[in-house]
Structure 1
Amino acid sequence: MRPFDDPAVEAAFDALPEDTRKGALALRELVFDTAQALPDAQPLTEALRWGQPAYLAPKGSTIRLGGHKQASFALFVHCQSRLMGDFTSAFPDEDRLEGNRAVLFDDPDQIDDTRHGWLIARALTYHL
């Protein structure tokens, strides 16, 4: 597991229920792996936004990770962006979604590096 730079972010993960934490940490690894693989790699900042771990790139749109009332954990994107619309066009009916703001997960095995990595890459480069 990648070490935390911000103790507040680490504390936020530690406060999550075990199932939620396991899935959110798996998504965190995918966020960092995807960011490193981008041809237009940008510095990635990990911080808290709305009390949840968030990932920000200078030319990107914020990604948040956390629990969800209808799922064990979720990957959130900015609801006023076109990210979820593009994602559902590229991968129709492959995920459980909450409108235009989140991909919902019940198990870390549901995380697909290709499909969800695509969404993460689009978010991290949204304004390029």
Structure 2
Amino acid sequence: MCKILKNPAKIAMMHVGVIQRRDEHHMTTNQGLFLCFDGNSTPSQQPAAILDLLVEFSDLFEEPKTLPPRRDQDHAITLKPGSPPINVRPYRYPTLQENKIERMIQSMLESGVIRHSINPYSSPVRN
């Protein structure tokens, strides 16, 4: 398993179910599947069928290497005019993790997975 998947420790339990949408007369109009990932489970807790699917479709579960493509529609949350940003302190983290976090952030910035935020409402991990 470890030789096939890049990050087997990050695999989560996957639940598959069916969603039925009903109209006002309670007749089924269409169906769809949903996936739910439980990040608390470990690979050893997963059924063999799920592990087989994860191996077979491992390319679908790769971590992104870039930002998603631009969309035709930009989305925004409209606030009351003149609303000031909420004053929130940045997230705290142990000093021992500081260098690791800085390297991870720099790596993601360079690879294009994340970008600098200019949002006054954001709460960054670092300054």
Q: TM-score, normalized by length of structure 1?
A: 0.22
Where is the helix percentage greater, Structure 1 or Structure 2? 1
Where is the strand percentage greater, Structure 1 or Structure 2? 1
Larger RCO: 1 or 2 (CA < 8 Å, sep 6+): 1
Pick the structure with greater CA Rg: 2
